[in-house]
Every structure is written in structure tokens, then in C-alpha cells.
A and B are shown apart, each in its own frame.
Chain A
């Protein structure tokens, strides 16, 4: 075990959580916009939301929950000094992230293929509420998807450090913070899925 007397474990974790709070407020703002517009355009939101494929949304929910399980298990594995298992579990998380993005790609391209994207002629010609719904849908799932890509890249970099032994049972704050970021991505999706795919 390598020891780093200059490392401040509690401070590093506090910093990560403070950053996650700003993320919660960011997505909270987007959910608030959704709630206010749902109140203004209930029929249009119901019609637009009905066009989303809830089975794809449910598949992505299962994928993200599983990815979070792998990330949490990876932390346990590193704490128990099982680097090979930890690296494999992080690999599982990244695989789930890839699966999520593939499903997201099919969903988005189906919508764009039907002329549904922010500012499209189809949406401009239709009801205002529908246009608002899809603008919020693309904005929210787009920013979320960006977080998935960043999280997967971050975890890939950390997995290399786990394999190399630089993240280990005595010093694993990097993995713990990376996993925290990943769980936030899962957390946001837990709200996106029912609001956009189910309740309308």
C-alpha cells in the first residue's frame, strides 16, 4: 500500500459532493421547467409523451441501475484489495454506458427521422406545447447523455489506474469520487424515466 500523507480524503469527497449539488440544481431547474410547462400544456404533453417508446426507456433504466451496481461493487472490490475484480466491474459499468448510448442513439434518430428535433418544421407547424415538450426532452436527455459519456471516460481512466495499482485499498478516493459521479447520472435518469416516458 502506498501512503500519501498530503492527501485529504475528507476534503476530496466534500469537494465532489459540492460539485454534485450543483449538478442536482442544474437538472432540478430542467425538471422545474418540465413541471411548469406540463401545467400549461397538459394535453399537448400527453400527446407528445405518448410518442416516446417506454420500453426503450425501461431498458435504459435497467442498464443504468446495473451500471451503478457495478460501480458500487468496484469500490468494495478496491477496498478489499481485489484490483482485477475492481477493473472488471468498472469495465461492466462502461459496457452498460455504451449500451445506454446505443439505445439513446436509436431513440433520437427515430425522432429526428420523423422530423422531430428542436426548431424543426414539423414541430413549428404543430401545437406549441408539443414543441416545448420535445425541446425539453432533447435538452434534458442531451445533457444527461453528455454526463454518461464523461462518466464513462472518467471511469475508463480510473480503471487504468486501478490496474496499475495507483488506485488501491489504501488510496481509492479517485475511484470513490468517479463512482459518485456515475451514481448521479443514474439518479437523474431515475427521474427522467417516469416523467418523460411513463406519467403522460
Chain B
């Protein structure tokens, strides 16, 4: 049926990613319990993006996909970024 080779990700690697995700979750909880003011949101969102990256790259196999899917993902995220950026451009300078 399918001619292309499919990458099989080992249980070991998946477990490693899961442990990293748990550690990052603990880190988010830790830094948001501190009094950091505005940096709290920035820090928490940075870690969330990192976690999302790990899930997409390994759990969702994006790391092993071809150019088409990667570009489409980039395009979808860019659309979202433009969407957020233009909204704030409106809201902040009203």
C-alpha cells in the first residue's frame, strides 16, 4: 500500500519525552508560584510553547514528516500569529 518508509519511534524515546513534559509542567507550577509580575505570563507561555513543540515534533511525528506538512503547520501557526498580532494592534492603539 504505502511506498514511503515510516519511522517507528521507540517506547524509550516516547517515555523520555513524557518525562520531559512532566518536568516542564512542574517547572511551570514552580515559577508561577513565585512573585514575578508580568514575567509570570511570559515564562508560563514560553514553557507551554516548548511543551507544545515536543508534543507536535515527537508524539505527533512532525519531526519525521515531509516538507508539505511542515510548511502547512508553519502556515497555520503564522495565520494564528497574524490573527493575534492584528487584534492587539487594534486593541492597544484604540
Contact = CB atoms under 8 A, between A and B. Distances in A.
Contacts of A61: 25
Interface residues of A, number: 49
Interface string A57-73: 01001100110110111
A75 B10 CA distance: 10
Chain B interface size band reads: 35 or more
A25 B79 contact: yes
Nearest to A33: B87
Given A21-B76, A170-B1, A183 B59 contact: yes
B27 to A, nearest CB: 11
A79 B6 contact: yes
A138 interface: no
Contacts of A35: 84, 88
B15 A58 contact: no
Interface stretch (A9-17, A101-109, A158-166): A9-17
A7 B2 CA distance: 8
Majority DSSP secondary structure for residues of B touching A: helix
B18 A66 contact: yes
Contacts of B48: 190-191, 193-194
Contact of A65 (B4, B25, B41, B83): B25
A198 B29 contact: yes
B91 A68 contact: no
A53 to B, nearest CB: 13
B69 to A, nearest CB: 6
Interface in A1-31: 3-5, 7, 9-10, 13-14, 17-18, 21, 24-25, 28-29
A35 B6 CA distance: 40
Interface in B37-68: 40-41, 44-45, 47-48, 51-52, 55-56, 58-61, 68
Contacts of A171: 1
Given A10-B2, A29-B83, A195-B44, 4 more contacts: A25-B83, A36-B87, A183-B59, A193-B28
11 contacts: A5-B1, A13-B69, A21-B76, A24-B77, A25-B80, A28-B84, A36-B91, A58-B25, A68-B59, A186-B59, A193-B28
